[in-house]
Amino acid sequence: MRHYRTQKIEIKKLDEIICNCCGKKISVINEVPQEDIVEVEKHWGYFSKKDGQKDAFDLCEDCYDRIVSGFSIPVTCDS
Ligand SMILES: [Zn+2]
């Protein structure tokens, strides 16, 4: 005879993304964002002032457009 214990498993499901720049909420249905976003993850390393620090943020398309429009050198586009 075998006796089993019930084990609860916590499952995290993404249901919303919030633009870190403007606060716009982007809904996620079945794990699919309903608007495309920019996801940035940066693990700082040697020769930075943030060695070992991990940063992450999301941007909506409008904020991405506004930020890159201020670049001295345009973003490389390959379409
Ligand atoms: Zn935004």
Question: How far is the centre of ligand 1, averaged over its atoms, from the C-alpha of 36 (Å)?
Answer: 11
DSSP β-bridge partners for residue 28: 33
Question: How far is the centre of ligand 1, averaged over its atoms, from the C-alpha of 24 (Å)?
Answer: 5
Q: Where in the chain are the domains? A: 35-70
pLDDT per residue over 14-53, tens digit each?
Answer: 999 999 999 999 999 998 999 999 999 999 999 999 999 9
User: In angstroms, how far is the first alpha carbon of the chain from the final one?
Assistant: 63
Cα dihedral 78→44→57→20 (10° resolution): -110
State yes or no: pLDDT of 79 exceeds 90.
Answer: no
Residues with CB in 5 Å of ion ligand 1: 19, 21-22, 24, 60, 63
**CB contact set of 20 (below 8 Å; sequence gap of 6+):** 57, 58, 59
